[in-house]
Chain A
Amino acid sequence: AQRVTQPEKLLSVFKGAPVELKCNYSYSGSPELFWYVQYSRQRLQLLLRHISRESIKGFTADLNKGETSFHLKKPFAQEEDSAMYYCALRTGGGNKLTFGTGTQLKVEL
């Protein structure tokens, strides 16, 4: 069965410091990985997906199949990055997403 692991419940960094939110997955097939973000009092929204290989709001994530990881990175954290981040795995071509438990990112001044 597929599984997504986000080992950190809370990550606290200072403004301007690099950020890395960890995500590991377990799936024997070809995965599709996503990062979703939930800002305070807002609904869950897509941040980025590995297929598009894009940078959104300065965030990037590279799929490493050897390490089964999809860590989210940003070189310089900003205060507005404070939010809950969820890594998600889509399998089998369907619409089902398997989410991790989330990491709360707190950017301090």
Chain B
Amino acid sequence: ETGVTQSPTHLIKTRGQQVTLRCSSQSGHNTVSWYQQALGQGPQFIFQYYREEENGRGNFPPRFSGLQFPNYSSELNVNALELDDSALYLCASSLQGQGYGYTFGSGTRLTVV
């Protein structure tokens, strides 16, 4: 059974640029959620994808967008990067309706300069 893998592990971008983060979900999981974890804070829900559609969104602006592919992998895209976007971005996969069964990835550390 493979776990959740995220790429890249670290990334440095300039303010105003765009970034794409990738996530491969655990085998057998059909739902992917993305979280942002700022330094010293708990993870904050960005959005969730199920059946290739957004299925719930947290308090994040539209410049945060995502995709889910037929193989359940997912991308998180952030446009017009701001300094405050610097954080650890976590991907978590699960089976729809079984939210407790989250498997988290190790995260992508994004630094915006």
A interface vs B, CB < 8 Å? 4, 6, 9, 32, 34, 43-46, 49, 51, 86, 88, 90, 93-102
Contacts and interface: CB of A to CB of B under 8 A. Distances in A.
Interface string B41-59: 1111100100000011010
Interface stretch (B66-74, B79-87, B98-106): B98-106
Given A4-B42, A101-B41, A102-B42, A95 B104 contact: no
Contacts of A90: 99-100
Contacts of B104: 43-45
Nearest to B4: A43
A102 B96 CA distance: 26
B31 A95 contact: yes
Nearest to B90: A44
Given A95-B31, A95-B96, 19 more contacts: A4-B42, A9-B40, A32-B99, A43-B107, A44-B43, A46-B101, A46-B102, A93-B97, A95-B33, A95-B48, A95-B55, A95-B99, A96-B33, A96-B58, A96-B99, A97-B43, A97-B99, A99-B35, A101-B40
A48 B32 CA distance: 21
Contacts of A49: 100
Interface of B: 4, 31, 33, 35, 40-45, 48, 55-56, 58, 90, 94, 96-97, 99-102, 104-107
Closest 5 A/B residue pairs (Cβ):
A99-B42, A95-B99, A44-B104, A96-B45, A99-B43
A60 to B, nearest CB: 17
A94 B45 CA distance: 12
Given A43-B105, A101-B40, A101-B42, A96 B56 contact: yes
